[in-house]
Amino acid sequence: MAVEVLYRSSRDPERLFMDKAEADRYDKMLELAESLAVVLQKAVPDLTDKQAEDVGIYMARHRDVFAKAFKSQPDVLTELDGKELA
């Protein structure tokens, strides 16, 4: 009988991972997404909770591209053309 070690996301308990580092990266991404959602809702009060959450997750998943764009390389945002939201 084989034994498998699974890691559960602490922020999304339904997500399971085979690798602890991957689970940790996912949790950090969700933490960033949550912080972004809070900031976005403060900046744009008309955003619904769902919209803010979706945009926050999208930005957190693509944080490397957004980081480059914020460092005077806005043309890198074209890399996101066609990428799914959330």
The model's pLDDT over 56-85, given as tens digits with 9 standing for 90+, comes to: 999 999 999 999 999 988 999 998 886 665
| Average pLDDT along the chain | 91
14 in a structural domain: no
Q: What is the pLDDT of residue 84?
A: 65
Q: Would you state the pLDDT for residue 85?
A: 58
Residue 77 structural domain = 26-86
Percent with pLDDT over 90 in the chain? 71
- As for how many domains the chain has, the answer is 1
Check residue 58 and give its pLDDT: 94
Q: Is residue 51 situated within a structural domain? A: yes
Asked if residue 48 is part of any domain, the answer here is yes
Domain contains 2: no
CATH code (residue 58): 1.10.10.710
* Residue 17 within a domain: no
SS (H, E, C) the chain: CCCCCCEECCCCCCCEECCHHHHHHHHHHHHHHHHHHHHHHHHCCCCCHHHHHHHHHHHHHCHHHHHHHHCCCHHHHHHHCCCCCC
pTM confidence score? 0.81
Assess if residue 82 is contained within a domain: yes
